[in-house]
Amino acid sequence: MNEAEIWETLQSRVPGTTLKEGTIFQRDVLRFRSFVASELRHGRAALVGDAAHTVPPTGAKGMNLAIADVVLLARALNALLGENDARLIDGYADLASQRIWKAQNFSWWMTSMLHLQPEHNEFDRQRQLGELRSVVDSEAGRTYLAEAYTGWPID
């Protein structure tokens, strides 16, 4: 994409506004990484969303995980502050972690199955295609992918 195309695309996203164009002085491919904080709760502090974990975008899980964390934490705070019941807040990190690590695994798997690495050779490429075909040719494989992609129930 050249500079003119970048401005044209950006402008098309904001109808009703005229963007003031400037020089584009840096272009980067956004770097993503997989990360889970070692503690999701410490005393009166609890982490949710990207502060607690990041996933590569291939599984489209980041926002979904953030919302699920917030639902769990809201329930826990309601119980704590409304009924003086600390069981949910004490279990928040363990419960949230189960979904987080499932999503980490799914995102990692999708990334490794769908993206070629520069160091990959012909064997890696063919093995990767074999993996993809194993999933799409199997009802069980398709079902797992659909379940994980659309997300797991919060309860």
User: CA triplet 60, 111, 150: central angle to 5 degrees?
Assistant: 30
Which one-letter DSSP state was computed for residue 31?
P
Would you say 136 and 142 are in contact if contact means Cβ atoms under 8 Å apart?
yes
Would you say 106 and 59 are in contact if contact means Cβ atoms under 8 Å apart?
yes
For residue 128, the Cα-to-chain-centroid distance in whole angstroms is 22
The b-or-e profile of 17-41 (16+ CB within 10 A means b, else e) is eeeeeeeeeeeeeeeeeeebeeebb
The answer to whether residue 62 forms part of the interface with ligand FAD (CB under 6 A) is yes
One of 37, 66, 80, 95 touching ligand FAD (CB under 6 A) = 66
Interface segment toward ligand FAD; rule CB under 6 A; list 2-10, 34-42, 43-51, 142-150? 43-51
d(CA 29, CA 138): 34
The answer to whether residue 57 forms part of the interface with ligand FAD (CB under 6 A) is yes
The answer to whether residue 49 forms part of the interface with ligand FAD (CB under 6 A) is yes
The answer to whether residue 130 forms part of the interface with ligand FAD (CB under 6 A) is no
Q: How far is the CB of 59 from ligand FAD (least distance, A)?
A: 8
Closer to ligand FAD by Cβ: residue 9 or 134: 9
Interface segment toward ligand FAD; rule CB under 6 A; list 33-41, 58-66, 74-82, 99-107? 58-66
Interface segment toward ligand FAD; rule CB under 6 A; list 13-21, 59-67, 118-126, 132-140? 59-67
The residues of the shown chain that bind ligand FAD, judged by CB under 6 A, are 49-51, 57, 60-64, 66
